[in-house]
Amino acid sequence: EDFKRVLLPVTALEVNKGQIEGVPKNPRFIRDTKYKALVESIKQDPDFLNIRELAVYEQPTKRTTKYVIVGGNMRYRAAKENGITQLPCKIIPNDYPKDKIRRFVLKDNSSFGETDWDLLLSEWDINEIEAAAIDIPNVNDSETKREQEKADAISTLAEDFIITPSSVLNTREGEWTKRKQAWKALSLVDGSGREENLTFSNSVQPPVYYQVKGKLRKEQEREPTHEEIIQYLEEKGRSIFPTTSIFDPVLCEVLLTWFNIPKGKVLDPFAGGAVRGIIAGVLGMPYIGNDLREEQIKENEKILKDFELPIPIKPLWTIGDSKRIDDIAKGSTLKPPYDIIFSCPPYADLEKYSNLKEDISNMDYKEFLTAYREIIKKSCSMLKDNRFAIFVVSELRDKYGIYRGFVQDTIKAFQDVGLQYYNEIILVNQLGSGAIRSRGQMKNRKTVRTHQNIIVMHKPTKENEDIPKMAEQEHQNIIIAYKGDKPNQDIQKDFQQLKEPFDPLKDIID
């Protein structure tokens, strides 16, 4: 309906006090400070009343016609106080349905939208906002309160657990990084012993490796060998070894705190570097770690000597083939049984740690698994009941780029000797060179792996008693399978390069 617009004297207008039959009085009110601001706002911009006229209901009386304000009661009062004698109005006729007028009253006094306070405060001057009588919620205080409550909760959890216990541990977060730097500042540097002899498998190399490979291929007009590439790098004073895996000290203190008992004895069948042993010692937990390579143990002893924190219990490192871990442990000064098995095993042929024939990282995957399962079996035979075994592992690809299922093979190896699959925790690693590698890998639709799996197994008592869960799952696993024989060739052939793909939300988000 086309409502008539007229200029009415303020003396002909009445505020809505419920005098329209079937229509309640105006549900809004205004506080003194806001009312004063509204008066000042109209004084500053009286023309705004021509843009936002009043909505009035025509109500004839015996002597004259009065107009009850359905929309604009506060503006009417403020206009009168400013000495305005006439106001533009839209007239709702007397015979207009009352149910519609009721809805008009509600809609005039409701706000369907929400204010973007960040935009408002950044684009308008605070004086303009105050002059318009806009209530600015105390965003900072409320946000600060919520953030403080959250921080307090996290702080309390951190006091009890070091890091908030959940099924996702993020090494990119500030608190994690801060603790890691603190450990490093104490001269906890690891990986040197491994760097001397560590060579990478042919399936995974840092970018400089492939740059040299391409250069030598062009010069020699043939495919260079792995040894030739390494030799070239060494002659040029370059090293690919800083990318080797070094165990995270924060992860070590977290897992030992969560899953070991106080002063519980730690068995590490794949010791590698010094981190796990030193941190176990700092936490007052007797530790025995075995490694095949004498040079690694010498490096660990050197790091232990330089470490700058008191270590109540010095770690014990032994040298030998971990397929004999039971004999090695029984012949040591820290004899079984143990309260926790905690290790980071070799990732099959992903990293080669030495040229020793006993080194399981030199074996093909089938041989590796046989030796791996034997070591797990013998280690678990020395674990007390109602205790945990924890392996930090990652998935591995074969030469065709297909995942081997190493994580599941690890779980099954433990299950086959009577342990229960208790917790899975995802360790989110730093992105590092992942951003660079991702473009090349996506040619074959391989995502860059930037996480590891922490497998927590439980050795039950004979009564199979229950114990509380430490980490409820708050992540999901996305399983991607491939059907075919030659993924490295066929995927590139059938799938287009991902470059500025169609984005159906681009216009909406922009």
**91: confidence class by pLDDT, cuts 50, 70, 90:** very high
Which residues of the chain are in CATH 3.40.50.150 domains? 181-190+243-460
**243: confidence class by pLDDT, cuts 50, 70, 90:** very low
The whole-angstrom separation of Cα 234 and Cα 232 is 5
Work out whether the CA dihedral 8, 10, 16, 17 comes out positive or negative: negative
pLDDT on residue 509: 47
**Residue 185 DSSP SS3:** helix
Region 351-369: mean pLDDT is 67
257 touches 161 (CB < 8 A): yes
The whole-angstrom separation of Cα 240 and Cα 250 is 25
Which residues of the chain are in CATH 3.90.1530.10 domains? 4-148
Q: Is the pLDDT of residue 186 over 60?
A: yes
pLDDT tens-place string over residues 222-242: 888 766 776 776 666 554 444
The whole-angstrom separation of Cα 459 and Cα 204 is 35
pLDDT on residue 12: 93
Q: Is the pLDDT of residue 252 over 70?
A: yes
Q: Is the pLDDT of residue 48 over 60?
A: yes
pLDDT tens-place string over residues 424-438: 999 988 765 555 556
**343: confidence class by pLDDT, cuts 50, 70, 90:** very high
The torsion angle over the Cα atoms of residues 225, 230, 231 and 233, rounded to 10 degrees, is 130
Q: Which of 41-55, 184-198, 216-230 has the lowest mean pLDDT?
A: 184-198
Mean pLDDT across the chain: 78
Q: Is the pLDDT of residue 495 over 60?
A: no
CATH of domain 4-148: 3.90.1530.10
The whole-angstrom separation of Cα 240 and Cα 433 is 13
Q: Is the pLDDT of residue 459 over 90?
A: yes
Q: Is the pLDDT of residue 312 over 60?
A: yes
Q: Which of 381, 380, 360 is nearest to 369 (CA)?
A: 360
Q: Is the pLDDT of residue 209 over 80?
A: no
pLDDT on residue 402: 84
Neighbouring C-beta atoms of residue 361, cutoff 10 Å? 21
Region 373-380: mean pLDDT is 96
Q: What is the DSSP string of 122-183?
A: HHS-HHHHHHTT-----HHHHHHHHHHHHHHHHHHHHHHHSS--SSEEETTSHHHHHHHHHH
Residues 6+ positions from 402 with CB-CB distance below 8 Å: 482, 487
**202: confidence class by pLDDT, cuts 50, 70, 90:** very low
287 touches 268 (CB < 8 A): yes
Residue with tokens 């806001």: 34
353 touches 245 (CB < 8 A): no
pTM of the shown model: 0.56
The CATH superfamily holding the domain 181-190+243-460 is: Vaccinia Virus protein VP39 (3.40.50.150)
The whole-angstrom separation of Cα 345 and Cα 349 is 11
Higher pLDDT, 108 or 230: 108
Tell me how long the chain is. Answer: 510
Residue with tokens 């205080």: 141
Q: Is the pLDDT of residue 200 over 50?
A: no
CA atoms within 13 A on the CB side of 41: 21
Region 121-147: mean pLDDT is 64
**204: confidence class by pLDDT, cuts 50, 70, 90:** very low
Tokens, residue 354: 């030495």
The whole-angstrom separation of Cα 359 and Cα 258 is 31
pLDDT on residue 271: 92
The whole-angstrom separation of Cα 374 and Cα 237 is 40
**Residue 114 DSSP SS3:** coil
pLDDT on residue 53: 92
pLDDT on residue 436: 52
Region 61-81: mean pLDDT is 90
79 touches 42 (CB < 8 A): yes
Work out whether the CA dihedral 491, 495, 496, 502 comes out positive or negative: negative
The whole-angstrom separation of Cα 74 and Cα 82 is 13
Percent of the chain with pLDDT over 90: 36
